[in-house]
Homo-oligomer: A and B are copies of this chain.
């Protein structure tokens, strides 16, 4: 018997959420170690040179393994599941899942999260003062532009990368669900994405995320509503 896996994560960090969703999809039991990566004594600095979540520690064949960053965690889950769980077997969908994962981890993070989540989430956490109206506008504009690229994908396909649920859906949901908590997604404007998100939200892997609460901020009224 292997020791149980432990996930070091921050509940409102998009990639940490993607890790929880993927562990849920794979039905892997794990313990949780919530971390606050902006604090000096965060235990993550001992585990991951970047000091950032998600980090998953596991024991396999008696050997301790530290999986740092979402890339290593998803790769490990996929291999442990003998493939096909997070990456579709169709080659084109597989490439598309990887393209979209990179899109969210780099472009969406830089253009949307670094602006909008900085204003809505990091500023209160780090006591950096009230949000800046100009930056909020800029972040919301960037979010709309990203959603307008995703809407036709969601409308023409069952899942973001094609006919099969893939890690692209879980990574995307990691980002969008945090923004949704803060009421930043006007779902009525994006009907196909809304349908995609409601399918995802109804999966058992999503349930733990719907219980997360950010100190001092109530979730948007529809955040935990499966029928929003």
Contact = CB atoms under 8 A, between A and B. Distances in A.
Interface of A: 48-50, 60, 63, 65-72, 75-76, 87, 91-92, 94-96, 98-99, 101-103, 105-107, 109-110, 149
A91 B105 CA distance: 23
B65 A95 contact: yes
Contacts of A106: 105-106, 109
A95 B107 contact: no
A50 B72 CA distance: 24
Given A50-B107, A107-B50, A66 B91 contact: no
B92 A72 contact: no
Contacts of A60: 91
A72 B48 contact: no
A69 B98 contact: yes
B95 A76 contact: yes
Contact of A94 (B49, B69, B75, B99): B75
Contacts of A63: 91-92
A94 B106 CA distance: 22
Given A60-B91, A63-B91, A66-B95, 6 more contacts: A48-B99, A65-B95, A67-B99, A68-B99, A72-B95, A75-B95
B102 A71 contact: yes
A116 B98 CA distance: 28
Contacts of A67: 95, 99
A50 B145 CA distance: 13
A149 B72 CA distance: 19
A140 to B, nearest CB: 21
A131 to B, nearest CB: 22
29 contacts: A48-B99, A49-B103, A50-B103, A50-B107, A60-B91, A63-B92, A66-B92, A66-B95, A68-B99, A69-B102, A69-B103, A70-B102, A71-B98, A71-B101, A71-B102, A72-B94, A72-B95, A72-B96, A72-B98, A72-B99, A72-B102, A75-B87, A75-B95, A75-B98, A76-B91, A76-B94, A102-B105, A105-B105, A106-B109
